[in-house]
């Protein structure tokens, strides 16, 4: 498992994440993906804000050409972090025993209720490849805004 660091040079935002893909199954032409994604930290170096969160993706089902994502709302009770997100999976392909996943994940909001921090971002995952038991994650993340409840940019 490789941990990838992604930095938005313009906004000074660094994303460190680890994604664990539990299973990818092809069932009669439909693709079902069960995975768990662990986001270790999101840090705004300018504002000094760190968000620790965990996102659990329950299932992704391809039904007649359309992709449906069922996911669990996630709350970090200790840190007071709530994550609301929508993920769009473009393709899941099995190539000779190796799994290649190309996806785009849209994160609507991440709110730290204790600290009053709201993070709106879009994360584009270019490729996730399972090669002989090893997972390689090559992500690119675009952070659009990090604001506090007062509306000020952090």
Residue span of the structural domain in which 40 resides:
4-148
For residue 51, what pLDDT is reported?
40
Task: Quote the number of domains for the chain.
Answer: 1
Per cent of the chain over pLDDT 90 is 0
Q: Is residue 96 part of a domain?
A: yes
Quick one: pLDDT band at residue 27, thresholds 50, 70, 90?
A: very low
pLDDT (average), residues 1-14: 38
Cβ proximity of 33 and 101 under 8 Å: yes
Q: Is residue 10 part of a domain?
A: yes
pLDDT digits (tens, 9 = 90+) for 83-135: 443 333 333 444 444 444 443 334 444 444 444 444 443 333 334 444 444 44
- Could you give the CA distance from residue 148 to residue 115 in angstroms, rounded to a whole number? 8
For residue 52, what pLDDT is reported?
38
Q: Is residue 154 part of a domain?
A: no
State pTM to two decimals.
0.22
Q: Is residue 153 part of a domain?
A: no
pLDDT (average), residues 8-20: 39
């Amino acid at each position: 498992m490789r941990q990838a660091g992604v930095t938005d040079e313009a906004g000074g935002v660094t994303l460190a994440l680890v994604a664990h893909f539990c299973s990818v199954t092809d069932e009669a032409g439909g693709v079902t993906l069960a995975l768990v994604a662990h986001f270790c930290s999101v840090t705004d170096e300018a504002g000094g804000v760190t968000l620790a969160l965990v996102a659990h993706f329950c299932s992704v089902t391809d039904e007649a050409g359309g992709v449906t994502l069922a996911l669990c709302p996630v709350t970090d009770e200790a840190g007071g972090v709530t994550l609301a997100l929508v993920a769009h999976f473009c393709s899941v392909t099995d190539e000779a025993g190796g799994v290649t996943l190309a996806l785009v994940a849209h994160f609507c909001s991440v709110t730290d209720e204790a600290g009053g921090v709201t993070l709106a971002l879009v994360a584009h995952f270019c490729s996730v490849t399972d090669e002989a038991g090893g997972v390689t994650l090559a992500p690119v993340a675009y952070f659009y805004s990090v604001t506090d409840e007062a509306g000020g940019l952090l």
